[in-house]
């Protein structure tokens, strides 16, 4: 982790200048905007590892961390710690309602949000701006959140140790 860069574009410039040799970035961002589109087109960057649960076809030759965990027969505690640490990729940019929102309203909001994200005009505008829309159903996000939030103390301690949290 390199500290001192205040904005992501400063980190990008540091990569170009050779000050930083490795950058963690979601594949959706990497394949949808500059400078990553140019980096990829010029072969400037190299994908080392995917952290999503499934291999992204845009980087099909790049190994998935869970494939490597399976190959190395990593312990269950370490596997769960990796799941916690990499869960952000699966969440993307979720929309949330406050605690206590009635289930019928959550259902209405989820349906409306998915419908809006499939609207042809919205999709066309997003494509003009090189934004990728990858909607994930609310039920899937809820399942992921439920899995991530319930961890045994050993996993919590390992994650804290990795993140240097006391």
| Domain ranges within the chain, ordered by starting residue | 1-46
pTM of the model: 0.73
Task: Give me the residues paired with residue 50 across strands.
Answer: 64
Q: Is residue 144 a contact partner of residue 52, using CB atoms and an 8 Å limit?
A: no
What 3-state DSSP class applies to 22? Answer: coil
Q: Left if phi > 0, otherwise alpha if psi is -120 to 50, otherwise beta: which for 18?
A: left
What are the pLDDT tens digits along the chain (166 aa)? 567 888 888 999 999 999 988 888 888 778 888 899 899 889 999 999 998 888 888 889 999 999 999 999 899 999 999 999 988 877 877 888 999 999 999 999 999 999 999 999 999 998 888 777 888 888 988 998 898 999 999 999 999 998 888 7
Rounded Cα distance, 108 and 103, in Å:
9
């Amino acid at each position: 982790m390199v500290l001192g860069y205040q904005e992501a574009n400063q980190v990008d410039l540091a990569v170009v200048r050779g000050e930083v040799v490795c950058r963690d970035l979601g594949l959706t961002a990497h394949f949808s905007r500059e400078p990553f589109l140019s980096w990829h087109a010029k072969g400037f960057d190299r994908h080392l590892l995917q952290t999503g649960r499934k291999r992204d076809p845009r980087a099909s030759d790049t190994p998935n961390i869970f494939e490597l965990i399976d190959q190395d027969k990593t312990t269950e505690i370490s596997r769960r710690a990796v799941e916690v640490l990499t869960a952000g990729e699966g969440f993307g940019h979720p929309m949330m309602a406050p605690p206590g929102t009635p289930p019928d309203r959550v259902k209405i909001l989820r349906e409306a949000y998915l419908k809006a994200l499939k609207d042809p005009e919205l999709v066309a505008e997003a494509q003009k701006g090189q934004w990728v829309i990858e909607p994930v159903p609310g039920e899937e996000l809820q399942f992921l959140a439920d899995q991530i939030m319930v961890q045994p103390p050993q996993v919590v301690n390992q994650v804290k140790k990795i993140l240097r949290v006391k």
